Structure 1
Amino acid sequence: MLEKLFGKKSTEEQLVAPLNGKVVSLDEVDDPVFSQRMMGDGVAIEPADGKVVSPVKGEIVQIFPTNHAVGIKTKSGIEVLVHIGLETVSMEGEGFEGHVKTGDKVEAGDLLITFDPELVREKAKSTITPVIITNFDDAVETFEPSYTDSANSGETTIATLKTK
């Protein structure tokens, strides 16, 4: 009843690392779409391997045909995009394997995509992987990133946020 009168209740969400590796600011991503936060805010990971897991519990709302990116929506409405590497769409799926499909329910830590980091280094601009909240302005009240040199996929918290 109170939610109807005063709007949706704010909830806290945590994003866990979708990859093993170093968590850095989006400012360090050599692509203005991400570094200037045109798609939303978040963090980036310099991956140590080629295994991508879900950073949140939610539903797969988009898996790109090339398997280089995946979108997940949480129950509270946060939309998270994991975009593997920079300019990887030009690889047309080579070296990427998707393990989920649109509509799948996932838990934080569930396997989403595997990829060949060496092939990405060879054929794309970078392996750095932005983790973006695409509806940031509409959905996020507070955002606290956690930068670390050694995040463990599915375990290390990379950001804590409160929804609006």
Structure 2
Amino acid sequence: MFGLFKNKKNVLVVGAPLTGRLINIEEVPDEVFAGKMVGDGMAIEPVEGKVVSPVDGEVIQVFPTKHAIGIKSINGIEILIHIGLETVSLDGKGFETHINVGDEVKKGQLILTFDLEYIKSNAKSTISPIVITNMDDLEKLEKMKSGEVSQSDVIMNITKK
């Protein structure tokens, strides 16, 4: 009975950080992501080189190679946005970050731009995983959409323990 009235603050609505085609994480052509070794989530095959924050929160990680950003939501959910597959080898070429570690971000705020054509030509894939990395803190991860998405469309609802 007491679980019926869960606090709404425990539910995080995650928006699409990219515009493109939504893909189940299990279908990502990379065993680390497909096997959920980093965490569960979704992936997007982008049609443009703009990344926005999927939630309100704080930037907790910007990889030196600029291909991935970690954000901690205001309720403590940690999200990794990884642009493309095997893009670490590009050593930052084709990527430009618009935030720094410690910055507060709002859902829909531009955080990263990248040269989509360069990534297509020089990386294994443009498919970009959006992964929840602190799965032990979650009660439920509900995937909300499939097919084509635009930035900030709701792609996941996450219930925190």
**Band the TM-score falls in, shorter-chain normalisation:** over 0.9
Which residue in 2 is equivalent to 1:139?
Answer: 137
Asked whether 1:157 is paired with 2:154, we answer yes
Which residue in 2 is equivalent to 1:110?
Answer: 109
Retained in 1: the 8 A contact 2:30–2:85?
Answer: yes
Which letter maps to 1:80? I
5+ unaligned residues in a row in structure 2: which ranges?
1-6
**Runs (4+) of structure 1 moved beyond 3 Å?**
none
Cα deviation, 1:63-85, whole Å, max 9, x if unaligned, reads 11111000000121100000000
Q: What is the RMSD computed on CA atoms of the aligned residues?
A: 1.4
Which letter maps to 1:116? D
Retained in 2: the 8 A contact 1:24–1:147?
Answer: no
- In 2, Cα distance between the equivalents of 1:9 and 1:25? 26
Which residue in 2 is equivalent to 1:4?
Answer: none
- The TM-score, its normalising length taken from structure 1, stands at 0.91
Cα deviation, 1:77-129, whole Å, max 9, x if unaligned, reads 10000000000000000100000000000011011100011111111000000
Which letter maps to 2:65? T
- The TM-score, its normalising length taken from structure 2, stands at 0.93
5+ unaligned residues in a row in structure 1: which ranges?
1-7
Q: How many residues align?
A: 155
Which residue in 1 is equivalent to 2:12?
Answer: 13
1:18 match: secondary structure:
coil
1:22 match: secondary structure:
strand
Identity of aligned residues (%): 49
Which residue in 2 is equivalent to 1:90?
Answer: 89
